[in-house]
Amino acid sequence: MIPAPTAPSVAAVVRLSRRAMADGREIIYYDEPGAAPRVAVDRRELGPRAQAGDLRFDALTGDWVSIAGHRSDRTFLPPADACPLCPTGRGSVPSEVPESDYDVVVFENRFPSFATRTDASQGALGQAAAADMVDRAELHLHRPAAGRCEVVAFTSDHEANIASLPPQRVRTVIEAWAHRTSELSTRAEVEHVFCFENRGVEIGVTLHHPHGQIYAYPDLPARTLGMLTRARQHHESTGRVLGADLLAIERTTGTRMVLEGEHWSAYVPFAARWPVEVHLVPHRDVPDLAALTAAERDELAHIYPELLGRLDRYYPAVAGQPIRMPYIAAWHQAPVRTGREVSRLHLQVFSVLRSPDRLKYLAGSESGAGAWVNDVAPESIARRLREVGS
């Protein structure tokens, strides 16, 4: 049994500075040696913090859905000089980050899908919904959408991206992810910590500054629960860890392998459901980012930008312009309190761009029935990802 992490695990090379934002949200700077002290004060006039919405049980499917009405007002593609993730002073208005520079910074999302409850109200729902709360039918279970949503700015450089960052900075991002995973895992309401990056307007990104997000969920999301169920079945029938067996098959077969390091390998999964999809997995059975050794983090700081860089070379440039791949990078970690001995950390990176000018849409079969159809053979994806190595 691998225990849940209980202590922060920031490496000595990163300095952590905790501050409060104007509305009480927490902001944490992760800085490399030589950075200035982080002491700036957030002097903006901000309204009250968003309350947790309503987490409702979908009796038809067994899923929990967060109803978060306050999020429909969130910031949508602001002009570059009003970027809320750039340091304050670079734009026309104070940003979410009071400092004039930073290396990596994490702060609580102003428009959270899951939030700490600070009062006993029914959250941020409209009056119609609140009135309906007398309807406590046994099938209509609901509870506060407790948890926490954080933003992770990877760099203060608005024009950068993970693939263009030096490994030292990527290493600091990894430290931040690991620390957040450790700390959020200690919160009573949190059952799962999910670090991810959405990139590209094609998948709805509303802020272009290079950043990711962390959702600390109060339950196991559907995919997490599904993977846990499968991993447990495999462990019960074989005594082995499913993720480790899948990696062994891919390393032996070879046709879907993308890259192999000393501590990490990347491959396209046998049943890839997206037109571009690749998994990056550690060679060791590791439950989450916090459990990675220093050597594993060091190699990841090189391999992760290499892998994402290949996505931007995946489709040949058109008229001299590279095709910047939109993607979702999803770090699947072990749940906080259960199944840690059978769950295995892995990164799933995937894209909806099925050709330089066409998207895969999730229409009737995928969104309606949940049945996936992929027009691209996984072996072809892997071959292309091998070709475009740097």
Residues 140-169 that bind a copy of itself (CB under 8 A): 140, 142
3-state secondary structure at position 344 = coil
Segment near a copy of itself (CB under 8 A), from 21-29, 35-43, 63-71, 81-89?
63-71
Backbone angles phi, psi at 170, to 5 degrees: -60, -40
| Residue number with CB closer to a copy of itself (35 or 67) | 67
**Interacting residue with a copy of itself among 8, 94, 167, 221 (CB under 8 A):** 221
| Residue number with CB closer to a copy of itself (79 or 364) | 364
Given a contact cutoff of 8 angstroms between Cβ atoms, the answer to whether 77 and 206 are in contact is yes
**Interacting residue with a copy of itself among 45, 119, 135, 236 (CB under 8 A):** 135
**Interacting residue with a copy of itself among 26, 63, 262, 387 (CB under 8 A):** 63
Instruction: Look up residue 342 and give its two tokens.
Output: 């059978």
Asked if residue 380 binds a copy of itself (CB under 8 A), the reply is: yes
Residues 246-305 that bind a copy of itself (CB under 8 A): 246, 249, 253, 255-256, 269-273
Asked if residue 129 binds a copy of itself (CB under 8 A), the reply is: yes
d(CA 279, CA 258) in angstroms, rounded, equals: 9
Instruction: Look up residue 199 and give its two tokens.
Output: 């990139």
Distance of CA 108 to the CA centre of its chain: 14
142-144 and 54-57 as β-strands: parallel, antiparallel, unpaired?
antiparallel
| Residue number with CB closer to a copy of itself (53 or 305) | 53
The conformational region for residue 99 under phi > 0 = left, psi -120 to 50 = alpha, else beta, is beta
**Interacting residue with a copy of itself among 139, 236, 316, 390 (CB under 8 A):** 139
Given a contact cutoff of 8 angstroms between Cβ atoms, the answer to whether 62 and 47 are in contact is no
Rounded to a whole number of angstroms, the minimum distance from the CB of residue 198 to a copy of itself is: 4
| Residue number with CB closer to a copy of itself (14 or 149) | 149
The one catalytic residue in 158, 209, 211, 332 is: 211
| Residue number with CB closer to a copy of itself (88 or 198) | 198
Asked if residue 62 binds a copy of itself (CB under 8 A), the reply is: yes
d(CA 224, CA 204) in angstroms, rounded, equals: 23
Position 295: which residue type?
A
Instruction: Look up residue 125 and give its two tokens.
Output: 């729902």
Given a contact cutoff of 8 angstroms between Cβ atoms, the answer to whether 68 and 53 are in contact is yes
Q: Which long-range contacts (CB under 8 A, 24 or more apart) does 166-171 make?
A: 167/301, 167/302, 167/305, 168/32, 168/301, 169/32, 169/103, 169/104, 170/300, 170/301, 170/302, 170/304, 170/305, 171/13, 171/297, 171/298, 171/301
d(CA 224, CA 226) in angstroms, rounded, equals: 5
Residues 305-344 that bind a copy of itself (CB under 8 A): 328, 330, 332
| Residue number with CB closer to a copy of itself (34 or 127) | 127
**Interacting residue with a copy of itself among 65, 160, 244, 259 (CB under 8 A):** 65
Residues 17-56 that bind a copy of itself (CB under 8 A): 56
Best CA proximity match to 164, nearest among 204, 196, 199: 199
Rounded to a whole number of angstroms, the minimum distance from the CB of residue 37 to a copy of itself is: 33
Taking residues 163 to 202 in sequence order and writing x for each that binds a copy of itself by CB under 8 A, - otherwise, the string is -----------------------------x-x-xxx----
Residues 339-368 that bind a copy of itself (CB under 8 A): 348, 350, 354-355, 358-365, 367-368
Rounded to a whole number of angstroms, the minimum distance from the CB of residue 25 to a copy of itself is: 19
- Scored b (16 or more CB within 10 A) or e, 247-283 reads beebeeeeebbbbebebbbbbbbeebebbbbbbbbbb
Residues 96-115 that bind a copy of itself (CB under 8 A): 113
Asked if residue 223 binds a copy of itself (CB under 8 A), the reply is: yes
Asked if residue 244 binds a copy of itself (CB under 8 A), the reply is: no
Q: Tell me whether residue 211 is one of the annotated catalytic residues.
A: yes
Asked if residue 75 binds a copy of itself (CB under 8 A), the reply is: no
Binding-residue total with a copy of itself (CB under 8 A) = 93
Catalytic residues: 211
